[in-house]
């Protein structure tokens, strides 16, 4: 009798497992196109490139119903270059995202792994580059990370449930350095509201020792970002790599009326406590700050055709050099225009053009040159780039 009861209990347990609701989805994006750049390090450039409108990727997304409104969730997402087949994000196998966690329909989701920060989640989608302009329409060298140039490793993340359009969340990334709890740590907070025609977002990001090994700028960036900052490769803010802290305060909003959407974003970006390395060109303890404002407009001519325009202005403050002299900040004026036509729900073709003008003195101490995100900086203070591309989702 006891053996029969044990057998029935075991069968019941296995039956419960068999009937649990679970799913695993394979998904991806392939984005490819032809580019013209009027000044790539002093020369015209004509080339193919991958992942401009959206990063080319494939991934696995899964969920298992645990009962009581609780689910186990995971994402493993790889980035790659269509033209060469090589891995993106510095050669990481799942460099875009890799996390596992628990999700409650009532309270929200807690996940652990390599993830996006709150500025990316809540403010980034309001930038033109995240909508129709691709990473070349992001702010100069994506200095505020609105376009997700940098991910966060070793991250615990909370995302709330949706409360009548309101969501909020935060992240904390452990630096993982023995004896120094704050080294390389990253934390962020954010909130968003999306209800009817109005969308709002705010976010805050704080990263310690961002250019150190394992720091935010050195943990495998996006396809359009270098693995770590160098003054030559990123004159916009590469010269501020000695900063002890990288801080971003961002906010944005959009309003849709009929077929038109108008949007505005703002960011304050600060490289704080410069000169923590012996080779820094700047006075120890000083800060370098940028203020960025973007106004964008999108019009949906038909369900299949949209066009957008954006103007972005970046203003850098003056900073004190190690020899005691004052260095004026750089200013960047950027104009972006794009159109996107959907051949189907999964396939679209698009055209993007971006013009940028720079003035003042950049982070290297030289006259500022135009530096569009993800591209080799111009040799002058002007540059224009255009791209025609195709994107397929599966």
Could you tell me which residues are beta bridge partners of residue 135? Answer: none
Per-residue pLDDT of the chain (394 residues; tens, 9 = 90+): 444 434 434 434 433 443 458 999 999 999 999 999 999 999 999 999 999 999 999 999 999 999 999 999 999 999 999 999 999 998 999 999 999 999 999 999 999 999 999 999 999 999 999 999 999 999 999 999 999 999 999 999 999 999 999 999 999 999 877 777 778 899 999 999 999 999 999 999 999 999 988 899 988 776 445 456 777 789 999 999 999 999 999 999 999 999 999 999 999 999 999 987 777 889 999 999 999 999 999 999 999 999 999 999 999 999 999 988 999 999 999 999 999 999 999 999 999 999 999 999 999 999 999 999 999 999 999 999 999 999 999 9
Q: What count of other Cβ atoms lies within 10 Å of the Cβ of residue 218?
A: 20
pLDDT at 276: 77
pLDDT at 233: 83
User: String of b and e for 9-26 (b: at least 16 CB within 10 Å)?
Assistant: eeeeeeeeeeeeeeeeee
Cα 146 from chain centre: 5
Query: If phi over 0 gives left and psi between -120 and 50 gives alpha, with beta otherwise, what is residue 236?
Result: alpha
Q: In degrees, to the nearest 5, what angle opens at C-alpha 197 toward C-alphas 345 and 204?
A: 95
Structure token pair of residue 278: 């012996």
Secondary structure class of 275 (helix, strand, coil): coil
- Identify the residue whose tokens are 């698009």: 350
Q: What is the pTM of this model?
A: 0.91
Nearest-angstrom CA–CA distance, 168 and 191: 4
- Identify the residue whose tokens are 């729900």: 345
pLDDT at 48: 98
Instruction: Write the DSSP symbol of residue 374.
Output: T
- Identify the residue whose tokens are 């972006």: 336
Q: Where are the domains of the chain?
A: 105-393
pLDDT at 219: 82
- Cβ-count burial of 274 within 10 angstroms (0-12 exposed, 13-18 middle, 19+ buried)? buried
Structure token pair of residue 164: 């009548």
Strands (E) in 21-174, as ranges, are 22-40, 43-50, 57-67, 70-79, 97-104, 108-115, 152-160, 166-173
Nearest-angstrom CA–CA distance, 49 and 64: 37
- Tally of CA atoms within 13 A in the half-sphere of 96 that contains its CB: 23
Nearest-angstrom CA–CA distance, 42 and 258: 44
Nearest-angstrom CA–CA distance, 296 and 301: 16
Taking domain 105-393, whether its CATH number is 3.40.50.10490 is answered by: no
Q: What count of other Cβ atoms lies within 10 Å of the Cβ of residue 346?
A: 11
Q: Give the residue among 16, 14, 97 at the shortest CA–CA distance from 59.
A: 97
Beta strand 382-393 with 347-360 is antiparallel
């Amino acid at each position: 009798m006891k053996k029969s009861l044990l057998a029935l209990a075991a069968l019941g347990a296995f039956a419960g497992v068999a009937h649990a609701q679970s799913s695993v989805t394979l998904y991806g994006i392939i984005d490819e196109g032809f580019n013209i750049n009027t000044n790539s390090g002093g020369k015209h450039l004509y080339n193919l490139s991958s992942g401009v409108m959206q990063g080319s990727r494939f991934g696995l997304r899964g969920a298992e119903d645990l009962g009581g409104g609780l689910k186990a969730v995971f994402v493993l997402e790889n980035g790659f270059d269509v033209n060469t087949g090589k891995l993106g994000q510095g050669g990481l196998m799942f460099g875009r995202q890799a996390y596992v966690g628990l999700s409650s329909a009532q309270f929200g989701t807690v996940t652990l792994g390599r993830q996006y920060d709150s500025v990316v989640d809540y403010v980034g989608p309001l930038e033109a580059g995240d909508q129709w302009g691709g990473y070349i329409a992001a702010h100069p060298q994506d200095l505020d990370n609105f376009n997700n140039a940098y991910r966060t490793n070793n991250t615990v993340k909370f995302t709330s449930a949706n409360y009548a359009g309101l969501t909020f969340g935060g992240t904390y990334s452990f630096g993982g350095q023995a004896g120094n709890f704050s080294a390389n740590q990253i934390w962020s907070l954010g909130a968003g509201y999306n209800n009817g025609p109005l969308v709002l977002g705010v976010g805050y990001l704080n990263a310690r020792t961002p250019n150190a090994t394992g720091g935010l700028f050195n943990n495998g960036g996006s396809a359009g970002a270098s693995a770590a900052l160098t003054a030559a490769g990123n004159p916009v803010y590469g010269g501020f790599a000695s900063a002890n802290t990288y801080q971003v305060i961002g906010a944005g909003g959009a309003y849709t009326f009929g077929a038109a959407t108008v949007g505005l974003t703002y960011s304050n970006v600060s490289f704080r406590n410069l000169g923590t390395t012996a080779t820094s060109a700047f006075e120890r303890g000083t800060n370098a700050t940028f203020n960025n404002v973007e106004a964008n407009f999108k019009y949906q001519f038909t369900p299949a055709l949209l066009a957008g325009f954006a103007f972005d202005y970046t203003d850098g403050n003056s900073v004190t050099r190690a020899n005691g002299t004052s260095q004026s900040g750089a200013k960047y004026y950027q104009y972006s225009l794009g159109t996107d036509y959907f051949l189907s729900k999964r396939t679209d073709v698009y055209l993007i053009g971006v013009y940028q003008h720079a003035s003042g003195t950049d982070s290297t101490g030289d006259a500022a040159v135009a530096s569009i995100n993800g591209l080799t900086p111009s040799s002058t203070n002007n540059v224009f780039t255009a791209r025609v591309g195709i994107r397929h989702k599966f």
